[in-house]
Each structure stands twice: as C-alpha cells, then as structure tokens.
Amino acid sequence: MNTSRTYRSALREEQARQTRERILDGLLRAMAESGAEDFTIPAVARVAGVSTPTVYRHFHTKRELTLGLATRALQQAGLQFVPLDGPEQLGQTVHMIVEAYLADERLLRAVVMSEQSAELRAEVVPLRLELFDTALAALARTIPVEAYRRLRASLLLLTTGATVAACKDLLGLDGVQAADTITWALQSLIAAATTGGTAPADAGPPGAATTTTTATTTQPVTANGGVSAQGSAN
C-alpha cells in the first residue's frame, strides 16, 4: 500500500472541505450584503477570499450553492430527511432541531438566510411537508382535508428558522425554553386537530402527543396540497 499517496489524497480532501466551508461562509456574508436572491458568484468569491473559478469548481450554479448552505445547516442540526414514525417522534425531532439552532448562532443565521431564497424554499418546503405527512398519516385519514391543510401549514411556520430566531430575539428564550415552547405549540395544534376542538390546557411534555382520533373520515393531502388515496405523502 502506498501510504504517501493515501496521505496526499486525504490532504486534498480536507483542503477541498475547508474551501467549501469558506465558500459557504462567504455566501452567508454575500446574502447579508445583497439579499438572499441578489447575491452573485463573484461576490461570494470575493468575501470568501477565493477565485470565482474555485467557487464554480465546487458549486456549478447559484442553486447548488444555496442548496449546499441548506445541506450544511441540516447536517449541523443533526437532521436528515428520513420518515418520522408518528407525532411523538415528530415532536422529539423538532425539539432537538430547535435546540441545535439556538446553540449555534452561525447555524441559525444560515437557516434564516437560506429560507429567504425562493429556489431553496422550492426544494426544502415540499420535503419538510412530506415529513409532516409521514408522521401524521394516521391523523390525516380522520380529519377534514381543509383542517389538515391548515395544520400542516401551521407546523411549517412553527419550524422555520425565523420562528426560532423570534423566540430568541423577541422573547429572550434560551435553546431549551424555545424548544419546549415550539414543541408545546406543535403538540397543541395536533391535539386540537385530533379532538376536533380546542387544544387542552396542557398538551404534555415535549415529545408526548395525543393519539385519540375523531370519527370524521377523509383523505390526507400530499406535500403539494393534493389528496392521497394511499394515506401517505407522494
């Protein structure tokens, strides 16, 4: 085995990783200067301290660049787009994400900035709604379609970076307090939809969700707002 060649390969990979990080950090600063939609690749290169061709070598388009920022934010938060098994796991996951966002100011700023990109929203929002549809598939089959649409829209708003930032900036909450508050609101909405009325005064601790269902039968909506006969997101 050629250890010298292996070492050089590992070194190149680490240098490439560091360059990508510099570029993504530069993207954050470029977005702050010119807006989430109006930044340019040369501007990113300038603030990152690399050449424009170097940026294009790692990210071929602005879309790839903004998706790279979103992917890094998800990885730093310990989140992957995997199916969630019911409302309880959804609550636990949201609690973990909110704590991760508020534990790292740079991560939260990246999430908030990336959500301002229309291209990125077009990629991420359907995935996030698909997570909700998978976790709430059983509930979606038992409530009116319009009620479920409103529920998933409310859950989407609750889990944005802007909402998490508001908990910190407007309410002065720390990570655990913000996570508890957002998770409680999420569980209260699910409980209200489940019972067909007003949410109970105490929706339970983070991660615990009510599973009682009503007799009204309908079909769940998909990530694009349509109706799925299979009872899960398309």
Amino acid at 20: R
- C-alpha span between 218 and 1 (Å, rounded): 63
Q: Note down pLDDT in tens along the chain; length 234 residues.
A: 566 566 567 788 888 889 998 998 888 788 777 766 678 889 999 989 999 999 999 998 888 887 787 777 666 665 555 556 788 888 888 888 888 888 877 778 777 877 777 777 777 788 788 888 888 888 888 888 999 999 999 999 998 889 999 999 999 999 899 999 999 999 999 988 888 754 444 444 444 443 333 333 334 444 444 333 333 333
Calculate helix-pair angle for 145-158, 175-195, nearest 10 degrees.
180
Phi, psi (rounded to 5 degrees) for 221: -90, 155
Q: Where does the chain have alpha helices with state H?
A: 3-34, 41-48, 52-58, 62-76, 87-103, 105-115, 118-135, 137-140, 145-158, 161-169, 175-195
Residue spans per domain, the chain: 3-60, 74-195
CA dihedral 154, 160, 165, 167 (to 10 degrees): 30
Quote the pTM value.
Answer: 0.59
Task: For domain 3-60, give its CATH number from 1.20.120, 1.10.760, 1.10.3470, 1.10.10.
Answer: 1.10.10
Burial 186-217 (b: 16+ CB within 10 A, else e): bbbbbbbbbeeeebeeebbebbebbeebeeee
In this prediction, residue 221 carries a pLDDT of 41
